[in-house]
Structure 1
Amino acid sequence: MKIDKILIIGSFGQGALENFYSESFKLLRIQVFKYDIQTPFRRYLGTSILNKVAYRLGFSNKFLDNINEELIEFAAKLKPNFILVFKGMEIYPETIDALKTNTKLIANYNPDHPFEFYSRGSGNQNILNSLPKYHIHFSYSKNITDKLKTQLNTDAYTIPFGYDSSKKAKRAESYLNDVIFIGAYDNSRAKILSNFNEIGVKIYGDTKWHSRSILNPRVKEMYQNKPLYGQSYIDVTYNSLASINLLRKQNILEKTHNMRTFEVPGYGGILLTNRTDEHLNFFEENKEAFYFESVEELKDQIIYLKKLSISAVEKIKADAYKRSVNSNYSYHDRAKSLISIVDQYLS
C-alpha cells in the first residue's frame, strides 16, 4: 500500500516545520490533512495565569482532554493510512493508542530531543510516555536517532532539517556589508553577541532583545527593532555579508545542527556557525560555510569575511547554494526521503 492520505498533527504557525512538509507532500500528489493541536491549547493557556500554573503543576486539564478527544474523532472519520505527529507535547499516550486503530502507520518527528529536555518548552511527560507507542521515529540528528534505536529499541531514521526551495531571494544593495543575527532572545546569545557591537553585527528578532537588554547597551544598539519572517528573512539572509547562527546547548552537546544550518546557504547566504561534526559533514569549512568554537574565533571569521572582495563573497555564496542543491538539502527532498521510508512499512 502506498500513501494516499496523510494526517499531520502539530503546529502550523509562520515558519513551522509542519508547513514545509505539508506543502512538499502536496507536491508529491499526496492528500494532506492538518490538525493544529498546539494553537488552541496555547490560546487557552494565555487566557489566564491560573491555567498556566495548573498545567505546569500537572493538574488534569479538561480543555486538553477535549482536544485529544476531538483529535481521535477527527482521525476516526478521516482514516488516513499514515499519521505524522510533530513533537506531541499536547497528545496523551492513550490518544496515540486510539489513533493507531484508525491508521496503518503512525510516526513521530521531534525537532528537539525526544527524551532529554533542555528547556521547559522542549518536552514533557506526554512526549516521554508516548515514545514507545509510535511505530517509527524520525529525528533531525543522527546521534539522537542512534539513541532512540539503542535505548528504546525502536525503528528510527534521520531526516535533517532543510530549506524551502520554492522561495527565491530578491536583491537589496543596502545589506551587502552587514553581518547579521536573526533569532529569538536568550541570555547566552545576548552575552555572545555583545562582543561584536564595534564590528557592526546587526540583530533581528523579537522585542525581548530590547526589553531585556536595559543593562546591556551594546546589545540594544545592535538590535534593529524588528523580527524577520518570510520573504524579508530570505532577502536579508541572501543580501547580507554573513549570517551568524548560534546553536543552542542541546545542538552543541549532540554535535548536530538546527534549521538555520540549511536555510542560510539554501537562500544564498554565508553561514557562520558553531563547528560541529554534522556541520562539517554538510558544508565544507572555509569554502561553503565558516565555523567557530569561541568568541575570539567568531570575531576572527567576521573580520576575515569583511575584508573579502565582492567577487570572493559571491563565490562562497554560490558554492554553498550549489552544495545545497546538489546534496538534496531542500524540504522537498527531505519529504521524498521520509515518504520512501514510510512506503517500506506500508508495502
Structure 2
Amino acid sequence: MKILLCESYPENVSREKIVLEELGNSVYLFNFYLHTKRINNKLINKIVKYLPIDFVFDELNKNLINLVDSQNFDMMLVYYGKEIYPETLSYIKTKIPLVVNWNGDELFNKLNNNQNILNSLAIYDFHCSPRHHLKSEYLLKGVKQFIEVDWYYKTVLDQPINSLPIINGNFIGSWSPKRERIISSISDDEMSIHGWGWKKKSKCTNKKIGVLLTEKSMNQVFSNSKISINILTDENRDNINFRNYEIPSQYGFQITERSDRILEIFQEDKTIVCFSGTEELNDKYKFYLNNDKERRKIVANSFNLLKSNSFDLKTQMKKVLTEIQK
C-alpha cells in the first residue's frame, strides 16, 4: 500500500515509517513537528511561538491538502491528530479510501485532546487504541470501528549492558500532584526526574530535576539506572502504559504502580516489581537498590519476556493492517 503517515516526530527517524516500510509499504511521512517548528532558527521559532495557533494550523492543513491532491494514497495513518481540522479530514476522505487514527492517550481527557480530535471521531474509518477497557465508551461517543492494539516497545537493546548502572533511580514522565506526592516520598536524594512541568510546578526539593529528554536519551537513562519508577496516570484512566514496555526493552528495572492489567502481562516479582502505596514503594526501592543480583535477575526475565512475545511495534502494526483490510 501507499501510505500517508502523519505524526509529530522531533527525532531524526520515525520508527513507525521504518516498520511500515519493512512490512512492504511505500510510506510518505508528513511530520507535524516540522510544520509547527517551521525552521531550525531560534529567532524565527520564537516569533512563530507567539503567533495564534490557528495561523500555524491553517498553514499545516493547507500543506496537507496540497500533498494529498498531488499524490494517490491508499491509506492515511494519523498519530493523535490535534493539528488536523475536521474539515480537512473530511476532504481527505474523498481522496483516500482508508483514514485511520492511532491514539494511545485517553480521547476524552481534556489534557490530551482538543476540538479537532473530538470533532473528528466519526470521520476516521478506524481508531486504534491500547485502552481496551474504554472500547464501549469510544463507540458510544462516535468512533466507527475500534481496533484493539497493545502497548509496545519501539527499539530494543541488542545485548544487555554488562557494567553496573551508574544512576540510582529515575522517574520520567509529566508532572502531576499524584506523581509529586509519590516521588517526593522516596528517600533518595540522588534520584533524577525528567518530564514536562517538573521545573515549573514541582516543590520537590530532595530530587534532581533534569531536562526534557529525547527518545534516545530516555532509553539511555533506563539502561543506566538501577531503578526506574513507573506511575500510572489517573486522568488517562491508565491500567498499563508505554513505560511498562519501554523500560525492560532497554534492559532496565522498573517498579511500577500495580494494576490487574499489568499482572495479566507480567508476573509480579519475576518479570516486574509493583507497588500500591508509598510505604510499599519505599521498602522495595531500598531493597532492590542494594540487591544487584535480585534486581538483575528480574531485568533479564522481563527482557526475555518482551523478546519472546509479540510486544514490538511491528506486531501491532501488522495487526492494524490486517484488521483494516478485512
The normalised TM-score by structure 2 is 0.87
Please, which moves more after superposition, 254-263 or 133-142?
A: 254-263
How much has 1:164 moved relative to structure 2?
2.2
1:72 aligns with 2:76: no
Equivalent residue number for residue 342 of structure 1: 324
Q: Is the 8 A contact 1:169 1:238 kept in 2?
A: no
> Runs of 5+ in structure 2 lacking a partner?
39-43
SS in 2 for 1:14: coil
Larger helix proportion of the pair: 1
* Residue 125 of structure 2, aligned match among 125, 130, 135: 135
How much has 1:144 moved relative to structure 2?
2.6
Equivalent residue number for residue 4 of structure 2: 7
Q: Is the 8 A contact 1:179 1:241 kept in 2?
A: yes
SS in 2 for 1:217: coil
Q: How does 1:227-242 map to 2 (within 5 A)?
A: 227-242=212-227
Equivalent residue number for residue 306 of structure 1: 289
Equivalent residue number for residue 81 of structure 1: 74
Q: Is the 8 A contact 1:255 1:276 kept in 2?
A: no
Q: Is the 8 A contact 1:10 1:85 kept in 2?
A: yes
Cα displacement string for residues 121-180 of structure 1 (whole angstroms, at most 9, x for unaligned residues): x11111111100111111121123332234436210121221124544662635257222
Equivalent residue number for residue 23 of structure 1: 18
Equivalent residue number for residue 278 of structure 1: 261
Q: Is the 8 A contact 1:289 1:320 kept in 2?
A: yes
Equivalent residue number for residue 182 of structure 2: 192
Q: Is the 8 A contact 2:101 2:128 kept in 1?
A: yes
Q: In 2 relative to 1, CA 311–168 (structure 1 residues): closer, same or farther, beyond 3 Å?
A: same
Separation (CA, whole Å) in 2 of partners of 1:177 and 1:42 = 33
Q: Is the 8 A contact 2:126 2:143 kept in 1?
A: no
Equivalent residue number for residue 269 of structure 1: 252
Separation (CA, whole Å) in 1 of partners of 2:302 and 2:171 = 18
Identical residues among aligned pairs (%)? 24
How much has 1:27 moved relative to structure 2?
1.4
Q: Is the 8 A contact 1:68 1:95 kept in 2?
A: yes
Q: Is the 8 A contact 1:64 1:90 kept in 2?
A: yes
Q: In 2 relative to 1, CA 45–110 (structure 1 residues): closer, same or farther, beyond 3 Å?
A: farther
RMSD between aligned alpha carbons?
2.8
Separation (CA, whole Å) in 1 of partners of 2:324 and 2:116 = 24
Q: In 2 relative to 1, CA 136–46 (structure 1 residues): closer, same or farther, beyond 3 Å?
A: farther
1:105 aligns with 2:98: yes
Q: In 2 relative to 1, CA 150–15 (structure 1 residues): closer, same or farther, beyond 3 Å?
A: farther
> Runs of 5+ in structure 1 lacking a partner?
56-60
Equivalent residue number for residue 258 of structure 1: 241
Separation (CA, whole Å) in 2 of partners of 1:86 and 1:243 = 27
Separation (CA, whole Å) in 2 of partners of 1:71 and 1:210 = 35
Separation (CA, whole Å) in 2 of partners of 1:182 and 1:235 = 12
Equivalent residue number for residue 58 of structure 1: none
Separation (CA, whole Å) in 2 of partners of 1:176 and 1:40 = 38
* Residue 298 of structure 2, aligned match among 295, 316, 320: 316
Structure number with higher relative contact order (C-alpha < 8 Å, ≥ 6 residues apart): 1
How much has 1:300 moved relative to structure 2?
2.0
Cα displacement string for residues 85-110 of structure 1 (whole angstroms, at most 9, x for unaligned residues): 11111111111111112222111111
Cα displacement string for residues 235-293 of structure 1 (whole angstroms, at most 9, x for unaligned residues): 33134222101222234xx3422221110112222221111232122211221111222
* Residue 203 of structure 1, aligned match among 192, 196, 215: 192
How much has 1:112 moved relative to structure 2?
1.3
Q: Is the 8 A contact 1:106 1:135 kept in 2?
A: yes
Counterpart amino acid of residue 235 in structure 1: Q
Structure 1 segments of 4+ aligned residues over 6 angstroms from their partners = none
How much has 1:13 moved relative to structure 2?
1.4
Please, which moves more after superposition, 298-307 or 73-82?
A: 298-307
How much has 1:186 moved relative to structure 2?
4.3
Q: How does 1:111-260 map to 2 (within 5 A)?
A: 111-114=104-107, 116-119=108-111, 122-152=112-142, 154-165=144-155, 167-168=157-158, 171=161, 173=163, 175=165, 178-196=168-186, 198-200=187-189, 202-205=191-194, 209-210=198-199, 212-213=201-202, 215-219=203-207, 222-223=208-209, 225-251=210-236, 254-260=237-243
Counterpart amino acid of residue 109 in structure 2: F
Q: Is the 8 A contact 2:171 2:230 kept in 1?
A: yes
Give the length in aligned residue pairs: 321
Please, which moves more after superposition, 26-35 or 272-281?
A: 272-281
Q: Is the 8 A contact 1:6 1:30 kept in 2?
A: yes
How much has 1:216 moved relative to structure 2?
3.6
Separation (CA, whole Å) in 1 of partners of 2:159 and 2:219 = 6
Separation (CA, whole Å) in 2 of partners of 1:317 and 1:102 = 48
